[in-house]
């Protein structure tokens, strides 16, 4: 069966410490966070690599979410392991241990069925691996890439090639400034749009997210949504990936990539990110129900609505 969405990226075991507590050996990895979030909306095919030690809990969860794992390679060795901690407002993770293990030699290979998927999410991996996935897909309607500071400084040329081929670029505000060398995020977004994508999603953590897209020959369309006003964050790990999963999930479910629908997708992404941070790893999103998603979507409407100026 052709999945609605193909998600490519890391599958990991994370040991996380935050001011709320410690959680050893959580299910983690960008592609896992993204897939579990997207699976609330549509059928996901996952592409990643794990070792022989991958927890049964992980297989069970992917199965429970009806996620196609025919693209997951299991090879001898250990699964990607990350240990990190957060303090203060949890704005940034402090990496303590990063053992790439089997992920070091990851070469994404899409099963035949996956190649005809219309929606492709390239989570944060080496841009040349992202490019190899783009070579394998046959009829994509929307491709989105995430990245990180490491690739921007180390493999910028390859990343530029990826940006030249995707439909949606997904970056946080620090990354888009770093990549473009432009302090002003609006100018930075315009610079990325000039490389080819029809939309740029800028994640701003606690300050929400923005969508920049082309509008006519020189115009720029702008949409912004706040972050959910969260009084008690438990663990931000994977929030950006859950955001991406919700965004892709809604687009794939509705099969509509208009700007108006991307706005709704940004809100669904924000909803998924807001649940992600309410427990360690994927725990909260793993037990999430659709009515909870809809309820929070409507809360976002409440956070942003205002009357006309002469109402």
**Residues at the site binding a second copy, with contacts judged by CB under 8 A:** 88-89, 183-187, 190, 204, 206-208, 210, 212, 220, 222-226, 229-233, 260, 263-264, 266-268, 294, 297-298, 301-311
Nearest distance in Å: CB 264, a second copy: 6
Q: How far, in Å, CA of 252 to CA of 59, rounded?
A: 24
205 sits in the region (left: phi over 0; alpha: psi -120 to 50; else beta) called left
**What is each CA distance from 238 to 4, 110, 164, 192, 254, in whole angstroms?**
21, 23, 26, 24, 24
Tokens found for residue 199:
């939309």
Nearest distance in Å: CB 211, a second copy: 10
Nearer to a second copy, 72 or 293 (CB): 293
Nearest distance in Å: CB 194, a second copy: 13
Nearer to a second copy, 1 or 219 (CB): 219
What is the greatest pairwise CA distance in the chain?
Answer: 67
Nearer to a second copy, 142 or 211 (CB): 211
Nearest distance in Å: CB 285, a second copy: 17
Nearer to a second copy, 72 or 202 (CB): 202
Nearer to a second copy, 216 or 229 (CB): 229
Q: 3-class secondary structure for 143-198?
A: EEECCCHHHHHHCHHHHHHHHCCCCEEEEEHHHHHHHHCCCCHHHHHHHHHCCCCC
Q: How far, in Å, CA of 26 to CA of 14, rounded?
A: 5
Nearest distance in Å: CB 200, a second copy: 12
CA 93 vs. chain centroid, Å, equals 17
């Amino acid at each position: 069966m052709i999945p609605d969405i193909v998600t490519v990226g890391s599958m990991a075991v994370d040991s996380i410490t935050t001011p709320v507590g410690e959680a050893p050996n959580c299910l983690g990895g960008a592609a896992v966070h993204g897939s579990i979030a997207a699976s609330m909306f549509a059928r996901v095919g996952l592409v990643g690599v794990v070792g022989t030690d991958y927890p049964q809990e992980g297989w069970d969860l992917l199965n429970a979410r009806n996620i196609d794992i025919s693209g997951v390679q299991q090879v001898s060795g250990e699964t990607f392991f990350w240990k990190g901690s957060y303090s203060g407002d949890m704005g940034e993770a402090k990496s303590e241990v990063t053992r790439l293990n089997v992920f070091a030699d990851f070469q994404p290979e899409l099963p035949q069925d996956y190649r005809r998927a219309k929606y492709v999410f390239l989570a944060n991996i080496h841009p040349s691996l992202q490019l190899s996935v783009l070579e394998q897909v046959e009829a994509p309607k929307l491709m989105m890439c995430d990245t990180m500071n490491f690739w921007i400084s180390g493999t910028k040329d390859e990343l530029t090639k990826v940006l030249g081929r995707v439909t949606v670029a997904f970056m946080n505000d620090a990354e888009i400034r770093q990549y473009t060398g432009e302090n002003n995020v609006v100018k930075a977004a315009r610079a990325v749009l000039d490389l080819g994508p029809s939309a740029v999603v800028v994640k701003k953590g606690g300050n929400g997210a923005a969508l920049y897209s082309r509008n006519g020959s020189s115009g720029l369309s702008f949409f912004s949504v706040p972050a959910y006003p969260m009084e008690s964050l438990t663990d931000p790990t994977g929030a950006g990936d859950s955001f991406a999963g919700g965004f892709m999930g809604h687009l794939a479910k509705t099969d509509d990539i208009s700007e108006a629908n991307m706005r709704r997708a940004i809100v669904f992404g924000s909803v998924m990110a807001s649940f992600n941070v309410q427990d360690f790893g994927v725990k909260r999103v793993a037990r999430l129900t659709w009515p909870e998603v809809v309820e929070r979507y409507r809360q976002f409407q409440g956070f942003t609505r205002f009357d006309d100026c002469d109402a």
